[in-house]
Amino acid sequence: MDAWPLRHLVLRTPRLGLRPDDDEGLFELVEVAKGGVHDPAEMPFTVPWTDWIAKDDGRAMLQFFWGQRAKLTANDWSVTFLIRHEGEVIGAQDVRAQDFAVLREVETGSWIGQKFHGHGFGTEVRAAVLQFAFDHLGARIARSAAWVGNRASNRVSEKLGYVQDGTLAVAPRGERLEHVRLRLDAANFVRPEWKVAVEGLAECVQLLTG
């Protein structure tokens, strides 16, 4: 028996490798974030974490991910996959669930360093974790959300088959920001031509499915 079996989990796509976060990878991720994630004039996230990096050099970011890892249980979990392209960390993809054994729902969120935008990585990584959730964990519904003005994220969702499921108002910088809530049922998933390769799931599946 392994004390932390998630360390064996790997997802592979035609161009990307995804592994749950580890300390070495998180320090790489902080450097990616320091290089820029979005236009500084905009705030696409419900929590303005990118505004804090210049003030604390990424400490709050590390503490957040450490906290998510520390409190993981089968009934309430969040797994942050570090996205690597040609061995280099380029961003992060989260998959979260509560009471998964009963609800069979996951929620996803992701970001990619600004210098890696425009290569289709966002679509590829989202398609990877959706296949993982639907085909390997047995999820029936995947949820997400994006700022109305986040055209790239919303295009990815549309391509993969999501439908709008209401709106959410937040104020990350003290001003109202409208987010579109999105829902994807497994039957409506617009699948890519490739299949994600999954390694190490047998060791950790009980941690995620209960």
Contact 113, 84 (CB under 8 A): no
pLDDT given for residue 153 in this prediction: 86
Amino acid 27: pLDDT? 97
All residue ranges of the chain with pLDDT < 70 are none
Report domain extents, the chain: 5-209
Encode pLDDT of 39-73 as tens digits. Answer: 888 888 888 889 989 899 999 999 999 999 999 99
Is pTM, for the whole model, over 0.85? yes
Q: What is the pLDDT of residue 179?
A: 86
In angstroms, the CA 143 to CA 157 distance is 10
Position 168 scores a pLDDT of 85
Q: What span, in angstroms and rounded, lies between the C-alpha atoms of 133 and 123?
A: 15
> Can you give the three-state secondary structure of the chain, one letter per residue?
CCCCHHHHCEEECCCEEEEECCHHHHHHHHHHHHCCCCCCCCCCCCCCHHHHHHHHCCHHHHHHHHHHHHCCECCEEEEEEEEEECCEEEEEEEEEEECHHHHCEEEEEEEECHHHCCCCHHHHHHHHHHHHHHHHHCCCEEEEEEECCCHHHHHHHHHHCCEEEEEEEECCCCCCEEEEEEEEEHHHCCCCCCCCEEECHHHHHHHHHC
pLDDT at 178: 86
Which CATH superfamily does the domain covering 5-209 fall into? Answer: Gcn5-related N-acetyltransferase (GNAT) (3.40.630.30)
Distance from C-alpha of 84 to C-alpha of 23, rounded to nearest angstrom: 15
